[in-house]
């Protein structure tokens, strides 16, 4: 993994490295026959990246630094439009469809900032799973226990995004998050992931899963790194988050739903994190949040994702049902049985649900819970059994999707001890509290890293 973005930028400014050197290092890792590059990237922009790196070096030598990520390699998920290329979204059914005539707004912001876009990263087909398994392009293997029993899942849907960062193919990655697709792979791979308030980053030029829930965020090495990339994606000047005092910080830790099915490893890491926060002066209030128990019933017919995905995919499914990942298309087809009244029920229920949840959060600085209640399962186990696949997928998505339905913002922080299975700690807040949440996460990160 690369150092933090601020350290890379300092190395570039001082001449200790160059953008061209960083780009060649990333390309070497992508092309390593013994590495994960072939499963991580669906497209590699080698020559474009080299040209952009040379330009960045020339400008820096002339005293021009376009942004905090100028000249630094990044990756983008395979559902962002890149001009001249068909956006495939981890699928094969869109091959031959028209190419993008413009870059996605988020991609253009990266280019304008001088980032070196290395290529597009693999993902769960059409972003419709939290596991990261892809039968078309292969499944990138988690760095934890990579060579044991075929390896473990990377988490999804931004699977390649996570492994591009852990394996040094990019210093930061851009993913999407509809039900946890930035935070889940971050948690399972020991990264930091930030899901901003949905309206913060433009979705123009991004293939949708649910326009009600989709958001765009970074996966990177630290809260600071995520804040830097988030500012670029949002088209705003970067302001470093100031660590929020931990003493007196009020955190609501739900005791219902989010701990169901938790495994021993995650439970231990979570309790240790809460104990450390409490010892540092944070006030941890553990209580039930009744609204969390209502969400399954609200989405019983498939919710926003099934309804919107079916509306978007129904013609493609009629043309090429067999070309889809069958475990993905089966979930999309749930939307076929949802009527307009069913969708309106979800829309109205969501408004009430947000109001009730925010009312209980009033007086607290953030919500705290495990990002994912289990460690990364083995790829082979989930490929072999539909029951295991769907069971694990439900657990992967359950906690994270609560924040998407809230239209909130959330950070996943590594909270495991060195050498142990990666575990993520989630901090979340209602919509619009992004900067304050990043400040809180910065302080918690410093505590957890000792």
- The predicted-structure confidence for 282-318, as pLDDT tens digits, reads as follows 999 999 999 999 999 999 999 999 999 999 999 999 9
Across residues 64-78, what is the average pLDDT?
A: 98
Does the residue 376 lie in any domain? no
To the nearest whole percent, how much of the chain has pLDDT over 70? Answer: 100
> 328-339: buried (b, 16+ CB within 10 Å) or exposed (e) per residue?
bbebbbbbeebe
In the chain, the number of structural domains is 1
> What DSSP letter does each residue of 110-174 carry, written as one string?
HHHTT-EEEEEEP-SGGG--SS---TTT--PPPSTTTTSTT-B---SSSHHHHHHHHTTS-SEEE
Q: Cβ atoms within 10 A of the Cβ of 274, count? A: 18
Does the residue 259 lie in any domain? no
Residue-wise pLDDT tens digits, 386-426:
999 999 999 999 999 999 999 999 999 999 999 999 999 99
User: Is 181 one of the catalytic residues?
Assistant: yes
Does the residue 187 lie in any domain? yes
Across residues 352-364, what is the average pLDDT?
A: 97
Determine the structural domain holding residue 158 and report its residue range: 5-234
Does the residue 374 lie in any domain? no
Residue-wise pLDDT tens digits, 263-284:
999 999 999 999 999 999 999 9
Does the residue 68 lie in any domain? yes
Catalytic residue (choose from 19, 67, 75, 77):
77
Q: Which residues contact 262 (CB under 8 A, 6 or more apart)?
A: 270, 370, 373, 374
The phi, psi pair for 221, rounded to 5°, reads -85, -15
Does the residue 228 lie in any domain? yes
Strand ranges (E), 19-105: 41-44, 73-77
Catalytic residue (choose from 91, 181, 186, 215):
181
Across residues 240-244, what is the average pLDDT?
A: 95
User: Is 77 one of the catalytic residues?
Assistant: yes
Give 354: exposed, middle or buried? Use CB within 10 Å, 0-12, 13-18, 19+: middle
Residue-wise pLDDT tens digits, 194-237:
999 999 999 999 999 999 999 999 999 999 999 999 999 999 99
Predicted local distance difference test score (pLDDT) of residue 449: 95
Average pLDDT, the chain: 98
CATH of the domain at 21: 3.90.1300.10
Instruction: Give the closest residue to 222 by CA, choosing from 271, 138, 279, 165.
Output: 165
Predicted local distance difference test score (pLDDT) of residue 450: 87
Say how far apart CA 146 and CA 142 lie, in whole Å: 6
The pLDDT of residue 81 is above 90: yes
Does the residue 176 lie in any domain? yes
Predicted local distance difference test score (pLDDT) of residue 105: 98
Say how far apart CA 201 and CA 216 lie, in whole Å: 6
Does the residue 217 lie in any domain? yes
Residue-wise pLDDT tens digits, 378-393:
999 999 999 999 999 9
What is the CA angle 378-380-382, rounded to 5?
75
Catalytic residue (choose from 75, 91, 157, 159):
157
């Amino acid at each position: 993994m690369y150092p933090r973005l601020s350290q890379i930028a300092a190395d570039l400014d001082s001449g200790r490295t160059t953008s061209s050197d960083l780009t060649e290092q990333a390309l070497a890792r992508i092309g390593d026959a013994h590495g994960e590059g072939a499963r991580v990237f669906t497209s590699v922009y080698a020559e474009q990246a080299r040209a952009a790196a040379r330009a960045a070096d020339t400008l820096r030598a002339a005293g021009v630094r376009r942004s905090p990520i100028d000249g630094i390699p990044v990756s983008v998920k395979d559902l962002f439009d890149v001009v001249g290329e068909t956006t495939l979204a981890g699928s094969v059914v869109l091959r031959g469809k028209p190419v993008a005539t413009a870059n996605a707004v988020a991609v253009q912001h990266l280019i304008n900032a001088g980032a070196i876009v290395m290529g597009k990263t693999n993902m769960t087909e059409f972003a419709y799973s939290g596991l990261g398994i892809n039968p078309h392009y292969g499944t990138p293997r988690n760095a934890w226990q990579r060579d044991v029993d075929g390896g473990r899942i990377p988490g999804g849907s931004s699977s390649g995004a996570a492994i591009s960062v852990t394996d040094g193919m990019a210093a930061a990655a851009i993913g999407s998050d509809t039900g946890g697709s930035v935070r889940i792979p971050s948690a399972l791979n020991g990264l930091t992931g930030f899901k901003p308030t949905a309206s913060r980053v433009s979705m123009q030029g991004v293939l949708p899963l649910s326009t009600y829930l989709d958001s765009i965020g970074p996966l990177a090495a630290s809260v600071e790194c995520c804040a830097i990339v988030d500012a670029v994606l949002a088209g705003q000047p970067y302001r470093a988050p100031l660590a929020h005092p931990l003493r007196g910080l009020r955190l609501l830790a739900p005791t219902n739903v989010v701990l169901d099915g938790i495994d021993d490893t995650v439970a231990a890491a979570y309790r240790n994190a809460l104990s450390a926060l409490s010892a540092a002066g944070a006030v941890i209030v553990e209580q039930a949040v009744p609204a969390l128990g209502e969400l399954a019933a609200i989405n019983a017919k498939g919710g926003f994702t099934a309804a919107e995905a079916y509306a978007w995919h129904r013609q493609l499914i009629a043309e090429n049902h067999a070309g889809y990942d069958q475990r993905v298309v089966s979930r999309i087809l749930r939307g076929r049985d949802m009527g307009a009244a069913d969708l309106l029920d979800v829309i109205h229920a969501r408004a009430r649900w947000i109001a009730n949840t925010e009312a209980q959060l009033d007086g607290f600085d953030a919500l705290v819970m495990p990002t994912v209640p289990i460690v990364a399962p083995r790829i082979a186990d989930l490929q072999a059994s539909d029951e295991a696949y769907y069971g694990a997928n439900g657990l992967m998505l359950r906690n994270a999707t609560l924040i998407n339905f809230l239209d909130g913002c959330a950070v996943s922080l590594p909270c495991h001890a060195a050498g142990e299975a990666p575990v993520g700690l989630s901090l979340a807040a209602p919509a619009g509290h992004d900067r304050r949440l990043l400040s809180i996460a910065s302080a918690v990160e410093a505590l957890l890293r000792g």
